[in-house]
Structure 1
Amino acid sequence: MALLMDLQAIETALVRLIALSAAPEADVFEDKEPLSADVVRRMIGGYAYINELLRAQVNLFSYGSSAHWLELNHLVLCGATPERREQFRNHIAQTERRFYDDSIGGIGERIDWLMRHRSNSPEALAAGIFLHMTSAPQLFIEGNRRTATLVASYALTSRGRPPLVVTENDYKAYFALTDDCKHMHRDRWDHFLSYYGFSYRMERFIRQTADARYLKESDGPEGPATGMASSPCRANPS
């Protein structure tokens, strides 16, 4: 029986972060949008979308699945409702142009990397793709860290490992680690050692924070937590 992510358990963990995220000491982290109920709902929508992909046995890391990466970014930033998508239509259009047209920072480079490293352990693969999405040049205009958390969770859960979920016990380590990543340019020769150092640190973080409570066995159709409408999962996006 396939393993999925337990959305209720993940939502509980994220809700507990709301007060911590708004605390004064949390301001030391760069470009961090304080967590709110709306941000949590959007993240749960993203986790729910990953569950849909797992149920449909969609390979997120194949060349034909790039539209799913875009959808994950749209979900964490804009949500799923038609009204929100209309409100952010210009941002969505700009994101899609960058995503497909950037020969250095676009999706093609990420899929090529995944193809070369698909035999890595689940934790190493998750850490590597997280790094490739959040280091410079970043994949998306905004929301790279949150989207990378979801893509890393797919890499883990699709291979039977717990997803990447930030909790009240490790959120400081998570943001400190990922803030460092933003300043790394993976194509610069003087960042070569930093790249592998970060990849090791991220892999270790994923292993140390893995929690089986965020996994469940697939037992039939599942709706996302808090009644949030999920986006349709397209098994063969154009």
Structure 2
Amino acid sequence: MPTSRLDLAAIERSLRAVQRDFDRINASLDTPRDPFDDEVLERMLAGYRFVDQLQAWNVDLLERGSSEQLLQLNCLILCENPGPALEECSPQFRLTMQRFYDDSSQGGVRALMNYLADHRHPTVWRRAAGVYIQMLSEPQLFFEGNHRTGALLTSHILVRQGRPPFVLSPENAKAYFDPSSLIKGYRKGTFKAMREMPRLRNRIADLLEATAVQAYLIPPHRALSA
């Protein structure tokens, strides 16, 4: 069955606009971010290319058997030229793999799958937001790169359902970064998290839906002729 694909050129234009305006964006944030330099930009573009390839392969990262490809997504945004062995991605990636596969951890991949099994979200926007929060709250899914990998996984979830990917822009950057910084401060299972997470999930879901740009998505009939 034909599937929608990403318009990678349109995505790159938006990310480069963020890079050009990042000093202003960063000054407006409640918690300033690291520089959006060329290395970060190129690795995010590599991540979007991988998300697009997953569409071509009809791979769902949240299905059983796809955990290694989910790790690969994180590896792509951390390493310029990740080798065939994931543990060679970065000096810290072995720690990421240990955390990822730790079944006793509230932040491992099993906990993520359990979250999805326990939560039947009414819309794809709520589902994507819920997965993002599950990744980013403590303990986090990956040792590093959770914000960027989370944005890419969110995009993957949306595109699988025919929705545009989430792409950072000068217009949506503050609305994305500020709640993301809040989410990092919550620990799964605590009273504070259980009280605040539904509000943050709705906030992220509303952001994803309100800032969806159809131009980032190539519909199936155009993708076939491209």
SS at match of 2:5: strand
Q: Deviations over 1:6-34 (max 9, x none)?
A: 1111110000111322346157525x221
* Structure 2 counterpart of 1:64: 65
SS at match of 1:58: coil
Instruction: Write the distance in 1 (CA, Å) between the matches of 2:87 and 2:139.
Output: 27
Give the residue type in structure 1 aligned to 2:154. A
Residue among 175, 199, 210 paired with 2:212: 210
* Structure 2 counterpart of 1:236: none
* Structure 1 counterpart of 2:160: 158
Contact 1:105 1:139 in 2 (8 A): yes
Instruction: Write the distance in 1 (CA, Å) between the matches of 2:102 and 2:148.
Output: 22
Matched, 1:132 2:134: yes
Q: TM-score, normalised by structure 1?
A: 0.84
Instruction: Write the distance in 2 (CA, Å) between the matches of 1:40 and 1:90.
Output: 21
Contact 2:17 2:170 in 1 (8 A): yes
Structure 1 portions without partners, runs of 5+: 223-238
* Structure 2 counterpart of 1:47: 48
Contact 1:29 1:179 in 2 (8 A): yes
After superposition, the CA RMSD in angstroms is: 2.3
Q: Residues 168, 130 of structure 1: CA spacing in aligned structure 2 closer, same or farther, 3 A cutoff? A: same
Instruction: Write the distance in 2 (CA, Å) between the matches of 1:220 and 1:37.
Output: 32
Instruction: Write the distance in 1 (CA, Å) between the matches of 2:163 and 2:117.
Output: 20
Q: Residues 100, 25 of structure 1: CA spacing in aligned structure 2 closer, same or farther, 3 A cutoff? A: same
Q: Name which structure has the greater RCO, CA cutoff 8 Å, separation 6+.
A: 1
Instruction: Write the distance in 1 (CA, Å) between the matches of 2:3 and 2:120.
Output: 20
| Residue correspondence of structure 1 range 5-16 to structure 2 within 5 A | 5-16=6-17
Q: TM-score, normalised by structure 2?
A: 0.89
SS at match of 2:98: helix
Contact 1:15 1:37 in 2 (8 A): no
Q: Deviations over 1:15-74 (max 9, x none)?
A: 0111322346157525x2211222111001111111111111112111211111111111
Q: Kindly state the Cα deviation for residue 199 of structure 1 after the two structures are TM-superposed.
A: 0.5
Instruction: Write the distance in 1 (CA, Å) between the matches of 2:196 and 2:161.
Output: 27
* Structure 2 counterpart of 1:80: 81
* Structure 1 counterpart of 2:170: 168
Contact 2:112 2:131 in 1 (8 A): yes
Q: Structure 1 residue runs of 4+, over 6 Å off?
A: none
Identity %: 31
Give the residue type in structure 2 aligned to 1:67. E
Contact 1:22 1:35 in 2 (8 A): no
Q: Kindly state the Cα deviation for residue 187 of structure 1 after the two structures are TM-superposed.
A: 0.7
Q: Residues 168, 95 of structure 1: CA spacing in aligned structure 2 closer, same or farther, 3 A cutoff? A: same
Q: Residues 12, 133 of structure 1: CA spacing in aligned structure 2 closer, same or farther, 3 A cutoff? A: same
* Structure 1 counterpart of 2:4: 3
Q: Residues 62, 184 of structure 1: CA spacing in aligned structure 2 closer, same or farther, 3 A cutoff? A: same
